[in-house]
Amino acid sequence: MGSHARPLSNYDLYLLAGVLYIVGVWLHIPYGGGHIYSDIPTVFQTRECSGTCLTIPYVNGFIEYPVIVSGFIYLMGVLGGSFPGSVVENYYTLSVAILAIPTFLLIRETLEIAKILGTDQNRVVWYLVATPTFVFMLLVNWYVIGVYFAVFGIRKFLQGRYGWSGFLMGLSAASNLVTAVPALGMVLVIKNRWDLIGFVCSAVLCYGAINAPFIQVNPSLWISFWQYQTNWYIEGSWMLAFLPGLSPLRHYIFPILFVLLYAAIVWLSCRAQVSGVITLSWMTTFAFLFSTYVFTPQMQLILLPFFAIVPIVKRYWEFLAFDIINSLFLILAFSEILLPFGVTYSSNVSGYLDPLRWLSIIRSLWLGKMLIFDGMLPLMPPRVRGWAVSLRLVGGKSSTAETRPLLAVEPHPSESE
């Protein structure tokens, strides 16, 4: 999609992004607008404006987000309180104004990567900007901060700047944790031992330096963040098909499945000569989100830059349907459209006939389909691909040239300067 359409200039692209961003701002206005739920005002109001207002995250107050995002929430609250009027409305206005910066920088970095890889830059329009996720999901949470750092880090990696890339991945982890998962695929590309050490150490040192002061000041609050994450219920995962939301099995299925999928990706990188950083990054990210028991609709933003850069799915309509279902879950669950039919959103869904439950299951399984059938199987050795074709698990002939997609063919980092 977009390869035969009139290419948009960068000005037109950013103008379109600005218009859609403003629509998203209106949709999530607290107690008004389009009445679409957003964590941005809700978390601030429930955590910061009940009881002692504007506690300092990780010092004397708890917020369930990593240090950078928690600090952002606090800073916007302080600035919002310095203006007349509603603190919540001021906080929201300032937040969405500042979040526009990483949003547009994310678009720029995606365009830069597309340029490096020789990808049609019009894909950035159809797979990142003109999408339901961009309109409905971008301002549901603060993921755009971590996604921007991660995509910026991938661009630096493609240019051979491993230290800078690792530093940016550390910033991504300190912002949203899960947005830094692509780094697990990136390390598989680095062949030089010292480059690998530089990448890993810069990421770890960056993340550690940001968190160290808060660990020193109040270690119990820092540990509480991790306890909160591990105690979260099953949300948006295929596990809801056979497990209740708080089943302890979720803590075993997630790591076991991810280790198995990651091992398969490592094997592909070694045996099938798959060395592209984008390929290994998107497959690792998809594997993590498919394995985990928490795959919220707003996490879709993590996937969009990969869809924009490489042809993960063959048909645009499949991507669009996948993205519409993702946004539809949020709209139906939180806008109470289904309330007249007796269907309400529950954080611990127990009813197996709940349509929202099965919508999230379908979405999660669809992600797994893209990973395994569109990503991993076509890159397997000829014998495995031939077996998959014979069982009609993948289409086409079993020859290497015809089944191995272009995703694995990327410039070596040292050649991208």
Chain segment 361-408, per-residue pLDDT in tens: 999 999 999 999 999 988 877 776 677 666 666 665 433 333 344 444
Determine the Cα–Cα distance for residues 78 and 71; give it in Å rounded to an integer: 11
What pLDDT is recorded for position 339?
Answer: 54
Amino acid, res. 83: F
**What mean pLDDT do residues 21-45 have?**
87
| Tokens of residue 30, six digits | 């607290």
Q: Which tens digit of pLDDT belongs to each residue from 140-182?
A: 999 999 999 999 999 999 999 999 999 999 999 999 999 999 9
Average pLDDT score, the chain: 86
What is the average pLDDT across 251-275? 89
CA distance 394 to 361: 22
pTM of the model: 0.90
In the prediction, which pLDDT does 377 show?
87
345 compared with 369, residue with greater pLDDT: 369
pLDDT score of 51: 41
Q: What is the rounded average pLDDT of the residues 29-38?
A: 82
**HSE-up of residue 85 (Cα within 13 Å, Cβ side):** 9
Please say if the pLDDT value at position 213 is more than 90.
yes
Query: Which pLDDT value is given to residue 275?
Result: 62
pLDDT of res. 9? 84
Is pLDDT larger for residue 346 or for residue 142?
Answer: 142
pLDDT at 341: 58
In this predicted model, what pLDDT tens digit does every residue of 81-130 receive, in sequence order? Answer: 889 988 889 999 999 999 999 999 999 999 999 999 999 989 999 999 99
User: Residue 307 to residues 104, 205, 300, 315, 344: CA-CA distances in angstroms?
Assistant: 17, 30, 11, 11, 32
The amino acid at 111: L
Confidence grade of residue 358 (pLDDT, cut at 50, 70, 90): confident
The rounded percent of the chain whose pLDDT value lies above 90 is 65
Structure tokens at 167: 């530093």
pLDDT at position 54 over 90:
no
Q: Could you give the CA distance from residue 186 to residue 188 in angstroms, rounded to a whole number?
A: 5
Is residue 272's pLDDT more than 80? no
pLDDT of residue 67: 95
How far is the C-alpha of 376 from the C-alpha of 380, rounded, in Å? 7
At residue 343 the predicted structure's pLDDT band, cuts being 50, 70 and 90, is: low
Range among 77-91, 190-204, 261-275, 395-409 rated most confident: 190-204
Each residue of 280-316: pLDDT tens digit?
Answer: 999 999 999 999 999 999 999 999 999 999 999 989 9
